């Protein structure tokens, strides 16, 4: 069994926020795997690559590394520097969803993600952590909220680049990404059969984190 708390779910469901706070509460490391797909999309755009079909040769030129900060939180560096706000833009998000459909990209990122598991428990958050990356994760949660609530959350998020978009536009972009992520052939977005589903609609993030902390502390093994 891997010493991993897997948190998966659709866009803007609150995965990253819950995972970060959970890691702080448990004093363990946290890895946001969506950043990897976002970084690949960003690098491809910067290099003028055809985003719909990235080659293994191009992927092998990328320098992606996670460096821990003083709090044990891993930050992603692309070609030696932190990518900054561009990583969180709506354009990078949809590019990430497109590159994430490709086998070459998923293969390339699989090893990077698996290398995090070790003796110490960690929190990893994404779309396929509990299904593909760590099917034997010690704990698995699948976080959701209604599409309306998720669009509201993304729009309200400070530091998130929604490019002055309206609520309807944000909702549309999220719906398109949900569709692409759920319908793709490789590692589609779906709960692992043994994941605990948490519908966070109407709940504050603190309540969600309290719930997960209790589950983990109780040692509720999901497998």
Binding site for ligand CDP (CB under 6 A): 9, 11-17, 33-34, 37-38, 93, 96-97, 100, 126-129, 153, 157, 177, 181, 200, 203-205, 208
Is residue 68 part of an annotated ligand binding site? no
CA distance 116 to 123: 10
CB nearer ligand CDP, residue 150 or residue 219: 150
Q: Least Å distance between CB 146 and ligand CDP?
A: 12
**Cα 95 from Cα 129, distance rounded (Å):** 20
How buried is residue 220: exposed, middle or buried, by Cβ count under 10 Å (0-12/13-18/19+)? exposed
12 is in an annotated binding site: yes
Q: Find the shortest distance in angstroms from Cβ 96 to ligand CDP.
A: 4
Q: Does residue 89 have a known ligand-binding role?
A: no
Q: Is 104 annotated as a binding residue?
A: no
CA 48 remoteness from chain centre: 25
Q: How far is the CB of 16 from ligand CDP (least distance, A)?
A: 3
**DSSP helix/strand/coil, 139:** strand
Length in residues, the chain: 223
Cβ distance to ligand CDP smaller for residue 3 or 157:
157
Judge whether 81 is annotated as a binding position: no
Can you tell me whether residue 138 is helix, strand or coil?
strand
Minimum Å distance from CB 185 to ligand CDP?
12
Residues facing 32 on adjacent strands? 125
Q: Which residues are annotated as a binding site?
A: 9-17
Q: Which residues are annotated as a binding site for ATP?
A: 9-17
């Amino acid at each position: 069994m891997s010493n991993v708390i897997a948190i998966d779910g659709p866009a803007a469901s609150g995965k990253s926020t819950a995972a970060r706070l959970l890691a702080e509460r448990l004093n363990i490391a946290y890895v946001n795997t969506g950043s990897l797909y976002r970084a690949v999309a960003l690098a491809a755009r910067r290099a003028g690559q055809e985003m719909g079909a990235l080659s293994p040769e191009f992927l092998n030129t990328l320098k992606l590394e996670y460096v821990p900060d003083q709090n044990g939180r891993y930050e992603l560096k692309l070609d030696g520097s932190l990518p900054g706000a561009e990583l969180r833009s709506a354009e990078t998000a949809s590019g990430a969803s497109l590159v994430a459909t490709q086998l070459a990209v998923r293969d390339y990122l699989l090893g990077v993600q698996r290398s995090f598991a070790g003796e110490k428990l960690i929190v990893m958050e994404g779309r396929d952590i509990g299904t593909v990356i760590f099917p034997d994760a010690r704990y698995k949660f699948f976080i959701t909220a209604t599409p309306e609530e998720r669009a509201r959350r993304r729009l309200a998020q400070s530091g998130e680049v929604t490019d002055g978009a309206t609520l309807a536009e944000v909702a549309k972009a999220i719906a398109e990404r949900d569709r692409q992520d759920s319908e793709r052939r490789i590692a589609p977005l779906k709960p692992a059969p043994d994941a605990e589903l948490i519908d966070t609609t109407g709940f504050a993030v603190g309540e969600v984190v309290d719930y997960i902390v209790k589950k983990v502390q109780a040692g509720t093994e999901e497998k």
